[in-house]
Chains A and B, each alone.
Chain A
Amino acid sequence: MLCRKEIEDAVETCLVKAGTTFRPDQLRAYRNAISAEKNENAKWVLERILENAKLAGKNTSPLCDDTGIPHVFINMGSSLSLPHDWLSAINDGIIRGLRIMPGRPMAVRGNPIERVEQSRGLYADPGKLSLAPVIVKPGKGGKLKITVLLLGGGPEIRAKTYRVFHQRSIDVVLGEAVRWASSEAKNLGCTPCVPAIGIGRTHVEASALMLEAMKEGSLSRQNRWEKKVTELINATKVGPLGLGGDTTALGTFMKIGPLRASGIRVVSMRPGCCFEPRKAAVVLG
């Protein structure tokens, strides 16, 4: 059986790694984009983002001051034995990671109405930033895979979950998601973006699939539809920070779930920022 401390330590390590380092696929994508980019200001931005990632990794400091809202995705093997308080171990690992990284102290104080109105200020403790609802899916054998993702505020302003009349065409469905992403890219500001798209039966399911697309996606492994979405967004020439150029999106992550008989698909599109997806995973057991 896994022990509580093992889970808590792993979650803490994942959170700090997610918020302070670029993965190899991100490093490769930025190097390729810098080589291909012809707009000098756009190239300058891409170089600064890469330089920032190297410095953040070296110093174990946040890539971005908006350290994001922690999300956890669990793949749980069927023959796994877990301590009864495994969920609280995950929560405690998140709190410890936020205090160590450090996360931005942006949790809002007060009762529900005071929180909406932000009338009682903020907690000074970054550990008060509570974990978003945890998603659990089946995994392999006796293994527990924990993925920690940090979702920044800019893309939340620009994300959209809505129904699309599919007309029995994937081009129609993805075309609508591309329109959403393209119209929001210059308002997002922190491009190049990495759109994540979930297609499901309900708004909750489509959003969960969008998060799963971020969890599973790699900028070095793109299917034909993901490449097509990226090409269409790059055709807008919004570019890094909106400065123009060829690099509006670095790649796209897409996940299609089970679907129902209907004239609509529910599509969730979140145009991740230039550091996203900030994620790290560990397999225990």
Chain B
Amino acid sequence: MITLQTPIDQREIEELKVGDQIEIEGTIYCGRDAVLPKLVRLIENHDLDSIGVNLEGAVIFHTAVSPAGIGPTSSNKVEIEGSIPALSKAGVKIHVGKGALSPKTVEELKRYHSVFAITPPVSALFSDKIVSQRIAAFREEGMEALYQIEVKGFPAIIAIAHGETIFASPRGG
């Protein structure tokens, strides 16, 4: 088990391999279909500072946040997978979700020195890992707002790193 503290350093990413089990300590941003494209638009407009979010060395978890808990949504949905290149370029080091990603995204992750990790949808267990949570931006999206959570020992497995993928034939052939 490899423990990673946010913000995550580039050297730590370089040492990760597909199949590594990791535990994340620190800050995780949570967002999904509704909010990730909005975040990308802020990056493109050089306006990320307007919401006080720093993505350098960041972890983004593809999830809603609600009284029902947190858990990975399918990362291969258009608006989520489509956000991965721009977010990686802006400094996100680990994207956490579930499901196979396309060969194009595998290449984009490699290009921007970022990795994709997967985690089971174990919401009852995750509730024990969350120390605190707050809405970081886009409150109007409800459970799909951008949340910032503090975690201890958040578990995941590296699925895509440095052009390698556990999904031998991405998209299921």
Interface residues of A, Cβ cutoff 8 Å to B: 41, 44-45, 48-49, 51-53, 55-56, 59, 61-67, 101-106, 118, 121-124, 126, 153-154, 157, 182-190, 240-244, 273-275
Contact = CB atoms under 8 A, between A and B. Distances in A.
Contacts of A157: 74, 77
Interface stretch (B45-53, B63-71, B82-90): B63-71
Interface residues of B, number: 47
24 contacts: A41-B21, A45-B157, A48-B155, A49-B120, A51-B125, A55-B125, A56-B123, A62-B123, A64-B123, A65-B123, A105-B142, A123-B142, A126-B67, A153-B73, A154-B98, A157-B77, A185-B172, A186-B100, A186-B167, A187-B74, A189-B97, A189-B98, A243-B166, A273-B121
Interface of B: 19, 21, 34, 63-64, 66-77, 97-100, 118-128, 140-144, 155, 157, 159, 166-167, 169-173
B157 A241 contact: yes
Contact of B99 (A55, A59, A188, A243): A188
A197 to B, nearest CB: 18
B172 A66 contact: no
Nearest to A39: B19
Q: Which of A41, A51, A184, A242 has the most CB of B within 10 A?
A: A242
A55 B67 CA distance: 16
B159 A183 contact: no
Contacts of A101: 68
Contacts of A275: 121
B123 A52 contact: yes
Q: Which of B34, B100, B123, B141 has the most CB of A within 10 A?
A: B123
Among all A-B residue pairs, the 6 with the closest Cβ atoms: A189-B98, A189-B99, A52-B122, A122-B142, A56-B124, A65-B71
A76 B5 CA distance: 57
B73 A154 contact: yes
B124 A59 contact: yes
Contacts of A242: 99-100, 118, 159, 166-167
A104 B157 contact: no
Given A48-B155, A118-B34, A182-B172, 10 more contacts: A56-B124, A65-B64, A66-B68, A185-B172, A186-B167, A186-B172, A187-B76, A189-B76, A189-B100, A274-B121
